[in-house]
């Protein structure tokens, strides 16, 4: 989309369709690295390297950035700047691309990928930070000049100067559909979401006002949520040693407004972990459900990456129960084993649809693989990677996993089905299909199991399922439903 604005003249920066894909780009090592490093500041260099890895290699920003910050020894101020620039640019890439295309007068696919990374980084500084225009433009030009020379630097300079002539709202007026003609499309551009995701949110929420609130919340960088593992440390103790605040919904949650959670002794020693409060509530709902006499056989059927297994394992240890954790990936299974070391958890490397386990479990969690649309604020680049075409295959997998869980649970036992997605096809659609297929199965009201003593169940919607949202509960948009297998006579 290139409506509005005059294009930048000349052919510099055009690379014949290489665009923003992962095609072969100029190798930064072709220039003297000493010259390159002296010409650019460390914070922007880290941010650019992460953004480039995200584009070229499908890297995850939230995994790569902490490692680069440690390796390069940035001071606190530069760490904060690199973090803001990396996550902010990755989160808003689609909006930035519309603006860059309009300013450059050419399609994004016609701009060299390496230059596009710099243009995104510079545009984000111009539009969404208090960094001065001169600094945002000049540091971006320095990044390009150090790798590509003056010609390409001139192209970047011209485009960014064009971007700097309008603020973000003025650019949205240029590149977004009008509110009158296409309100969902307008909000999608305004809050940097692909249109199809905004449409999914609108279908799930049912009102434009809530859609705007949800997209706005998703467009903000969230604070870190810690989990205090029961029996090892309390939330009160974790809040004291971390400088955080106890959570509102989960009795094990601590909010950490700033700082690196990996630097905390409690996290390094395994007494605590990083886990969104919504995910904690899913695990708690499983343990709070009434199953009659609990024989202590619990199952996490899709256990990777291990956060819920660690919380369930800690609670099982206190209750004298045992947890089986199933993970199809050998690598992820080993990570789970490390996390649950010392807890009554047995890790199985198997496909959850055919685990080889014997039926008779009291409690089963199916935290199914999903589109992840509910955690976009924590995975900034994910919104631009996901496509609607991926959903039907995921729904088939989710249905198979939940069906198998209903086979493995004992009569009178419960299954908690959860996804980090508000997509109706992945949530209520899957639950309805399985309920229709399992004679006598019933869906329990999940709201009291999620609310606990913290909130009124009515505040969690009309039930029987629970759909959390960033703009409502300040959690990831977790969905959960609780199913009971009928008791046969």
Q: Rounded distance, CA 150 to CA 427, Å?
A: 53
**Residue 17, helix vs strand vs coil:** coil
Which neighbouring-strand residues pair with 483?
Answer: 415, 443
Q: Rounded distance, CA 179 to CA 208, Å?
A: 11
CA angle 25, 164, 106 (to 5 degrees): 45
Query: Which residue is catalytic, options 253, 302, 370, 420?
Result: 420
- Tokens representing residue 235 in the block: 């939330």
Q: Which of 19, 45, 217 is nearest to 100 (CA)?
A: 19
Q: Assess whether 420 carries a catalytic annotation.
A: yes
Q: Taking a C-beta distance cutoff of 8 angstroms, is the pair 109, 102 a contact?
A: no
SS (H, E, C) 212-272: HHHHHHHCCCCCEEEEECCCCCCHHHHHHHHCCEECCCCCCEEEECCCCHHHCHHHHCCCE
Q: Taking a C-beta distance cutoff of 8 angstroms, is the pair 480, 280 a contact?
A: no
Which neighbouring-strand residues pair with 366?
Answer: 417
Q: Taking a C-beta distance cutoff of 8 angstroms, is the pair 441, 485 a contact?
A: yes
- Tokens representing residue 48 in the block: 């650019």
Q: Which of 15, 245, 208 is nearest to 107 (CA)?
A: 15
Any idea which residues carry the catalytic annotation?
Answer: 420
């Amino acid at each position: 989309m290139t409506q509005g604005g005059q294009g930048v003249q000349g052919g510099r920066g055009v690379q014949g369709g290489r665009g923003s894909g992962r095609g072969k780009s100029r190798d930064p090592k072709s220039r003297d690295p000493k010259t390159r490093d002296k010409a650019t500041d460390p914070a922007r260099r880290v941010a650019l390297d992460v953004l480039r890895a995200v584009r070229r290699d499908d890297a995850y920003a939230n995994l790569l950035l902490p490692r680069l910050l440690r390796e390069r020894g940035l001071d606190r101020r530069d760490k904060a700047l690199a973090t803001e620039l990396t996550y902010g640019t990755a989160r808003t890439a689609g909006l930035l691309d519309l603006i860059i295309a309009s300013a450059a007068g050419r399609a994004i696919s016609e701009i060299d990928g390496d230059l596009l990374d710099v243009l995104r980084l510079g545009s984000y500084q111009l539009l969404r930070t208090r960094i001065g225009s001169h600094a945002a433009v000049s540091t971006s030009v320095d990044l390009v000049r150090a790798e590509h020379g003056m010609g390409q630097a001139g192209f970047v300079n011209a485009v960014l100067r064009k971007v700097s002539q309008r603020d973000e709202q003025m650019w949205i007026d240029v590149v977004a559909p009008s509110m009158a003609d296409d309100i969902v499309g307008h909000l999608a551009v305004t809050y940097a979401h692909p249109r199809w995701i905004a449409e999914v949110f609108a279908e799930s929420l049912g009102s434009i006002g809530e859609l705007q609130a949800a997209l706005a919340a998703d467009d903000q960088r969230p604070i870190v949520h810690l989990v205090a593992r029961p029996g090892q440390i309390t939330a009160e103790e974790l809040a004291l040693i971390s400088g955080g605040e106890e959570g509102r919904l989960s009795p094990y949650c601590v909010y950490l407004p700033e700082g690196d959670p990996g630097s905390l002794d409690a996290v390094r020693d395994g007494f605590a972990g990083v886990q969104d409060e919504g995910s904690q509530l899913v695990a708690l709902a499983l343990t709070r459900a009434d199953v009659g006499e609990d024989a202590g056989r619990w199952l996490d059927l899709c256990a990777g990456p291990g956060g819920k297994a660690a919380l369930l394992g800690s609670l099982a240890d206190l209750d004298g129960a045992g947890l089986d954790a199933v993970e199809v990936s050998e690598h992820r299974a080993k990570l789970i084993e490390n996390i649950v070391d010392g807890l009554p958890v047995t890790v199985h490397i198997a496909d959850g649809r055919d685990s080889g386990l014997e039926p008779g479990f009291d409690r089963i969690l199916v935290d199914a693989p999903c589109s992840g649309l509910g955690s976009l604020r924590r995975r900034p680049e994910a919104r631009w990677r996901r496509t609607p075409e991926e959903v039907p295959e995921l729904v088939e997998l989710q249905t198979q996993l939940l069906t198998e869980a209903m086979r493995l649970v004992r009569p009178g036992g419960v299954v908690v089905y959860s996804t980090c997605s508000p997509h109706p096809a992945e949530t209520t659609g899957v639950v309805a299909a399985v309920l229709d297929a399992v004679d006598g199965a019933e869906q329990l009201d999940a709201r009291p199991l999620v609310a606990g003593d913290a909130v009124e169940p009515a505040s969690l919607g009309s039930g029987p399922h629970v759909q959390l949202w960033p703009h409502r509960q300040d959690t990831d948009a977790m969905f959960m439903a609780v199913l009971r297998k009928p008791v046969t006579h």
